[in-house]
Amino acid sequence: MNVSKERLNNFSAGPAVLPLSVLEAVRENLFNYQGTGIGIMEMSHRSAPFEEIIQTAEKDLRELLGMDDSYAVLFTTGGATNQNSMVPMNLLGKGQTADYLVTGYWAERAMKEATKFGTIHVAGTSKDREYSYIPTEIKLSQAPAYVHFTSNNTIYGTQFSAEPEVGRNVLVCDASSDLLCRWIEIEKYGLVYAGAQKNLGTAGVTIVMMKRDLLSRTPANLPVLMDYNTYVKDGSMFNTPPTFSIYVSALVFKWIKQEGGLKVIEERNRKKAAILYQAIDSSEFFRGTAEKSSRSLMNITFRLPSEELEKRFIKEAESAGFSGLKGHRNVGGMRASIYNAFPAEGVTELTQFMKDFERRAG
């Protein structure tokens, strides 16, 4: 069976493409996990093999990010959306203000959710130009409980090239669509969260990494699963965790390590993105939607001269084996999501298709 011929070039924004070796390991262990006689999805979360899986996942994630024990690693559920609630519920004390950088749809959703729990200050926004850039002007409130930003704006194709400057304030990050795409200095962050379905694995688990000293901020009497302490006290097993999804993440972390770690992955991602941006910039026909200095390595958004041509492009791309290129329903246009596991050859193939389309339709 030729796997590469059987599979499309999958540009889905999430759930997204996984490394082939991860899929093969999943297939192998679905019926009989490492000779235990029990399939990976059928195994108790209290069993010794699963204990090993979750512990190894945490160990490998710590190793990839160079993260010491002053951080806790939590495996939660509810997606990034649930973190939009948990962050203010745990970290925003009575009478305090939290600062939000509003750089896109998901950032806006996080900010709106937080208004339910306290006072919110918008410390920076790029709404004036349809979220096409990362604002450099940031005005923090006097003593924010934390400063929240979204490192990569999945829909608009923009990404912070460096963390916002927040001094000694606690930096909180929704890194759902770019965690593990590059090396970050984790010490700069108070709390980072990410849903797994892009670079980290498959939908189901949501990873939270947080400075342990923030745990004391949680007020009494939060619903048990909304309290970060619950996950820390019980090794993310107060209740049944999403075992299969954690297993896939564990495989993905191993894969990144085997590939050479985050610096190697970052280098690769930069090259892949450059191929596609170069194709866009060298053409009069395609137009990138994000400002150059704010461009994302993960989600590359572009437009064609008319919506009619865009419809035709998507249709013809589908027939040629390029899936998931349609932009988010809120913004239209095109979006090529090229997460870690997306192969460089697929990016080059897309640029060839684009050139060919331009010749025929331009």
Active site residues: 106, 174, 198
Q: For residues 304 and 338, which CB has a smaller minimum distance to ligand PMP in the complex?
A: 338
Calculated CA dihedral for residues 285, 290, 291, 293, nearest 10 degrees: -120
Q: Are 357 and 318 in contact (CB under 8 A)?
A: no
Binding flags for ligand PMP, 9-28, as an x/- string (CB under 6 A): -----x--------------
User: Does position 176 bind ligand PMP by CB under 6 A?
Assistant: yes
Question: Rounded to an integer, what distance in angstroms lies between the CA atom of residue 289 and that of residue 303?
Answer: 7
133 conformational bin, left if phi > 0, alpha if psi -120 to 50, beta if neither: beta
Q: Are 182 and 160 in contact (CB under 8 A)?
A: no
Q: Is 77 in the site for ligand PMP (CB under 6 A)?
A: no
Q: How far is the CB of 326 from ligand PMP (least distance, A)?
A: 14
Closest CB to ligand PMP among residues 122, 320: 122
Which one of 79-87, 218-226, 300-308, 341-349 is the stretch in contact with ligand PMP (CB under 6 A)?
Answer: 79-87
Closest contact distance (angstroms) between CB of 105 and ligand PMP is 8
Pick between residue 312 and residue 328 the one whose CB is nearest to ligand PMP.
328
Measured CA to CA in angstroms, residue 246 lies from 82, 243, 284 at distances of 17, 5, 45
End-to-end CA distance of the chain: 38
Task: Quote the least distance from Cβ 206 to ligand PMP, whole Å.
Answer: 7
Segment contacting ligand PMP (CB under 6 A): 66-74, 76-84, 228-236, 255-263? 76-84
132, 154, 218, 245: which one binds ligand PMP (CB under 6 A): 154
Return d(Cα 23, Cα 269) in angstroms, integer.
21
Closest CB 155 distance from ligand PMP, rounded Å: 7
Residues 91-130, mask of contacts with ligand PMP (x by CB under 6 A): ---------------x------------------------
**For ligand PMP, the closer CB: 87 or 304:** 87
- Kindly state the smallest distance separating residue 360's Cβ from ligand PMP, in Å: 33
Joined tokens for residue 34: 């490492």
Task: Kindly tell me which of 209 and 354 has the beta carbon lying closer to ligand PMP.
Answer: 209
Q: How far is the CB of 83 from ligand PMP (least distance, A)?
A: 8
Q: Which of 233, 249, 246 is closest to 179 using CA atoms? A: 249
Residue facing ligand PMP at closest CB distance = 79
Q: How far is CA 311 from the centre of its chain?
A: 27
Query: By three-state DSSP, how is residue 312 classified?
Result: helix
Of residues 190-249, those binding ligand PMP (CB under 6 A): 195
Helix (H, G, I), strand (E, B) or coil at 255: helix
Strands 97-102 and 71-76: unpaired
* Residues whose CB falls within 8 Å of the CB of residue 54, separated by 6 or more in sequence, listed in order: 45, 75, 235, 236, 237, 241, 246, 250
CB closer to ligand PMP, 77 vs 348: 77
Listed ranges 58-66, 170-178, 217-225, 310-318: which one lies at the site for ligand PMP (CB under 6 A):
170-178
Shortest Cβ 241–ligand PMP spacing (Å):
16
Q: Binding ligand PMP by CB under 6 A: which of 90, 177, 202, 269?
A: 177
Spatial CA neighbour of 338 closest among 157, 194, 208, 191: 157
Question: What type of residue is 224?
Answer: V
Spatial contact of 172 and 146, defined as CB atoms under 8 Å apart:
yes
- What stretches of the chain show up as alpha helix (H) in DSSP? 3-6, 20-31, 48-65, 79-91, 105-114, 228-233, 243-259, 262-281, 307-319, 344-361
Of the candidate residues 19, 79, 242, 324, the single one contacting ligand PMP (CB under 6 A): 79
Q: Is 80 in the site for ligand PMP (CB under 6 A)?
A: yes
Range in contact with ligand PMP (rule: CB under 6 A) among 43-51, 67-75, 169-177, 281-289: 169-177
Host H or E run for residue 61:
helix 48-65
Pairing of strands 97-102, 119-125: parallel
The contact set with ligand PMP (CB under 6 A) reads 14, 79-81, 106, 150, 154, 174, 176-177, 195
